[in-house]
Structure 1
Amino acid sequence: MSHYFLALDASSSACSAALLRRDAEHSECMARFELTPRGHTRRLLPMVDVVLADAQLTPGQLDAIAYGRGPGAFTGLRIAAGAAQGLAFGLDRPLLGISTLEALALQAHRRYHLRHVITALDARMGEVYAATWHCLNDTLRRHGDEAVLAPEAVTLPDDETDLVGVGSGFTLWDHFSTELQAGMTQHLTDLEPRAEEMAWLAARDFDAGLGQAAHAVQPVYLRNQVAWKKPA
């Protein structure tokens, strides 16, 4: 018996949709990805139609819906959340919010076989969204919390070597500490979060029973949380 997971993302300048088909013998993922900085509203749902058509699948055959919950661009997160929540509610399917930073780490691990990764997305206002990951055989372990902070405040984990920086946040390379720069073997700025990795992570979370009702899954902005925690 096959299971189907639809994922969509609009958390960055890119827009993407992916459909993962998984059964006992093998898995297959069909995806569409475009750099559309101001075209998320116009492109996202047509991408969903395309991947469903490519798979010769109807929406009613989906087992779950997933989307990039953030951190990322506020407007893009809201677009993806609205589309995903609408689909999940209309189909009466569970919804899963997937970390954009975790999806980015999985992409780097799969594409370049990286094991120790710091993901950082440009958060504007001189800050980055960042997290550190240990990756092995498609399994990711996060060190500490995802955070929004100034580049110079990003620190190296004590027990990791051969660290690689991944994501648009490293376009601010000159603002990171000299200690971090010295401890990092390279940094890759051209990778964007993609729905393809989110579909794989959604299947994992679905198996773990983490699917929720559509209204219960909300975007993660991080910056709002930090502002709320500041003392008066």
Structure 2
Amino acid sequence: MSTILSIDTSTPACSVALNVNGVILEDFRMAPRMHNDLILPMVDQILSQAELKLSQLDAIAFGRGPGSFTGLRIAAGVVQGLAYGADLPVIPVSTLEAMVLEAYRKYQKDYWLSALDARMGEVYVGGYHVSEIDKVVTIEALLTERVIKPESIDTFNELYNGVGSGWIYKDILLTKVPNNLALVDENIAPRAAYIGELAHTFFKESKAVSVYEAMPSYLRDEISWEKQPLKVGKR
């Protein structure tokens, strides 16, 4: 039994969710360049809706990336501040895996090539196999998360289905899977509800980390993360 707040600002979407023992409340908005203004009021609103305080949570989760450099910094910084102030552990969750979970729920397909548009002719990509036993979903990484030009991705033996904005390069990516028969949904974006669902499982598996380990995953080598001093006090 756990109560977990999750946030995501890794793409133009901005979302906050509260997972209370598997029951999920979510606020999801398409809000390009508005994350800084929206994220904390959205957190306050969803906690108020559930009549909970930060101190009553078990952990805070966030979309650790890959995704927008600025968006990832916002999410990590907000989570650091909230978790530090309330003395809570943090659960970083892959945005690519969160999209896979949503796609699996929607289509019940097992193999997914999850991709986000990384600009500059590149994609953030990961390959996954999904299994479900007794309503518990497990996502196994078959292709390590990376940033790469779509034409440089190796050809796969498995029939991957596609999810995420990186499938704007559909014509190229479909040549990487057998028979070009993959189902593709470019409209699924990372969202806090699915980050929270994965975090719920990770929490039970003791995979939460301290606030000092709550770092984003940029994937691009030239971008480094320098943790800023924590400035958000107790709420």
Partner residue of 1:198?
Answer: 195
Count residues with an aligned counterpart. Answer: 220
Counterpart of 1:141 in structure 2 is: 140
Change (3 A) 1:95 1:174: same
Partner SS state of residue 28, structure 2: strand
Q: CA deviation at 1:40?
A: 0.6
Instruction: Give the letter for the 1:132 counterpart.
Output: G
**Offset at residue 66 of structure 1 (A):** 0.7
- SS of the aligned residue for 2:203 comes to helix
CA distance in 2, matches of 1:149, 1:184: 22
Does 2:210 align with 1:213?
yes
SS of alignment partner, residue 222 of structure 1: coil
1:40-55 → structure 2 map (5 Å cutoff): 40-55=35-50
Residues 149, 59 of structure 1: alpha-carbon distance in 2 compared, 3 angstrom cutoff: same
The residue type paired with residue 127 of structure 2 is T
Matching residue's letter, 1:8: I
Q: 1:226 to 1:53 in 2, by over 3 A?
A: closer
Instruction: Quote the offset at 1:74 in angstroms.
Output: 0.1
CA distance in structure 1 between the aligned counterparts of 2:155 and 2:29, rounded to whole angstroms: 32
Alpha-carbon distance in 1 for matches of 2:17, 2:206: 21
Report SS of the residue matched to 1:224.
Answer: coil
SS for the counterpart of 2:183 is strand
Contact 1:66 1:97 in 2 (8 A): yes
1:1-232 → structure 2 map (5 Å cutoff): 2-22=1-21, 27-137=22-132, 138-158=137-157, 160-161=158-159, 163-176=160-173, 178-180=175-177, 182-224=179-221
Structure 2 residue identity aligned to 1:220: S
| 8 Å Cα contact 1:165/1:184 also seen in 2 | no
Q: What is the CA-CA distance between 1:174 and the residue it aligns to?
A: 3.1
Give me the whole-angstrom Cα distance separating, in 2, the residues matched to 1:29 and 1:185: 30
Q: CA RMSD in A?
A: 1.8
Counterpart CA distance in 2 for 1:68 and 1:177 is 27
Counterpart residue identity of residue 79, structure 1: I
Aligned to 1:176, the other structure's residue is in SS state helix
Taking every aligned residue pair, what percent have the same amino acid on both sides? 41
| Separation of aligned partners in 2, 1:17 and 1:74 | 19
Of 148-157 and 64-73, the range deviating more from structure 2? 148-157
For 2:180 and 2:217, locate their aligned partners in 1 and report how far apart those are by CA, in whole Å: 29
Amino acid at match of 2:34: G
Structure 1 window deviating more from structure 2 (218-227 vs 2-11): it is 218-227
Shift of 1:14: 0.4
